[in-house]
């Protein structure tokens, strides 16, 4: 039997700002990787994608 847990996170103002910056950066990297995958004929490997995007 698998258990399931729920957690709630109440960040402070400083944590909210840091999380917003982090998720903004993550979104840029995701969009860049998605653009590269859509433009290429074959799907690049994970390692190749990381070299280009990061």
Write the pLDDT tens digit of every residue in 7-25.
Answer: 999 999 999 999 999 999 9
CB atoms within 10 A of CB 32: 14
pLDDT above 70 coverage of the chain, percent: 100
| Euclidean distance between CA atoms 18 and 33, whole angstroms | 23
In the predicted structure, residue 35 carries a pLDDT above the cut 90: yes
Give the chain's count of helices (H) and strands (E).
Answer: 2, 0
CA distances from 25 to 2, 15, 17, 31 (A): 34, 15, 13, 10
Q: Which two tokens stand for residue 19?
A: 């999380």
pTM value is 0.71
Q: Which two tokens stand for residue 8?
A: 């709630």
Residue-wise pLDDT tens digits, 37-48: 999 888 889 999
């Amino acid at each position: 039997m698998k258990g399931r847990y729920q957690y709630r996170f109440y960040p402070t103002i400083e944590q909210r700002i840091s999380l917003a910056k982090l998720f903004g950066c993550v979104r840029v990297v995701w969009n860049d990787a998605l653009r590269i995958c859509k433009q290429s004929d074959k799907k690049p490997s994970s390692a190749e994608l990381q070299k280009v995007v990061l």
